[in-house]
């Protein structure tokens, strides 16, 4: 065993902390997510692929796999199913013949918009559980420590897609709101 910058006890305490927190948080996210997508006959991987394609405005299968934290074969197989349902299209790019790209069809986009419009029809325990922090600090938590750990594990590429998807929501949400005509919601 090589010299470590931490003791075995520190490793055990920290492993225990991060494993418990990551499992509990993911299980809560997963449950909310499943309830949200249930009426649309999608599983989490399928919805995640649609969501990534939407926010990256056309993504390669390998980007979908990387950012969706799924195997490339999983990303490909579920994308195929979404294509068969008319929600996605596959394409090649002239400047990149090796990768397969996926893009939402108008039908796929309208499904996602519908899901956004119905977001509040199901409970979101993670949002509810974060509201006391929002009340205290004026905004939802940003989990900088988790981001730093994930940056170190998954690399800069992952974080770039991560930031890109936020920018996209941020910039395009006015359009989304127009399309949804959600006058009843207290939107900014």
Residues in 6-45 that interact with a second copy by CB under 8 A: 6-29, 33
| DSSP H or E stretch at residue 17 | helix 8-37
Least distance between a second copy and beta carbon 28 (Å): 5
Is 140 one of the binding residues for a second copy (CB under 8 A)? yes
Q: Which residues of 29-47 are buried (b: 16+ CB within 10 A; e: fewer)?
A: eeebbeebbeeeebebbbb
Dist. CA 55–CA 182, nearest whole Å: 21
Which one of the spans 72-80, 89-97, 101-109, 164-172 is the region binding a second copy (CB under 8 A)?
164-172
Among 38, 39, 69, 160, binds a second copy (CB under 8 A): 69
Least distance between a second copy and beta carbon 114 (Å): 13
Minimum CB distance to a second copy smaller for 11 or for 91: 11
Minimum CB distance to a second copy smaller for 18 or for 92: 18
Among 41, 145, 156, 178, binds a second copy (CB under 8 A): 145
Among 50, 46, 35, residue whose Cα is nearest residue 126: 35
Dist. CA 39–CA 58, nearest whole Å: 25
Residues 116 and 176 sit within 8 Å (Cβ to Cβ):
yes
């Amino acid at each position: 065993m090589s010299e470590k910058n931490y003791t075995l006890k520190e490793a055990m305490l920290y492993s225990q902390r991060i494993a418990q927190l990551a499992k509990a948080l993911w299980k809560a996210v997963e449950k909310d997510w499943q309830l949200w997508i249930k009426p649309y006959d999608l599983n989490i991987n399928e919805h995640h692929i649609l969501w990534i394609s939407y926010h990256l405005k056309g993504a390669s299968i390998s980007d979908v796999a990387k950012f969706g934290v799924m195997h490339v074969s999983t990303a490909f197989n579920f994308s195929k199913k979404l294509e068969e349902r008319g929600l996605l299209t596959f394409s090649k790019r002239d400047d990149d013949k090796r990768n397969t790209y996926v893009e939402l069809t108008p039908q796929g986009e309208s499904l996602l918009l519908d899901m956004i419009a119905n977001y509040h029809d199901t409970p979101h325990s993670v949002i509810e559980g974060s509201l006391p922090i929002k009340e205290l600090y004026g905004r939802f938590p940003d989990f900088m420590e988790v981001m730093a750990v994930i940056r170190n594990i998954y690399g800069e590429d992952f974080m770039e897609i991560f930031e890109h998807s936020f920018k996209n929501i941020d910039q395009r949400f006015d359009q989304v709101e127009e399309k949804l005509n959600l006058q009843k919601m207290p939107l900014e």
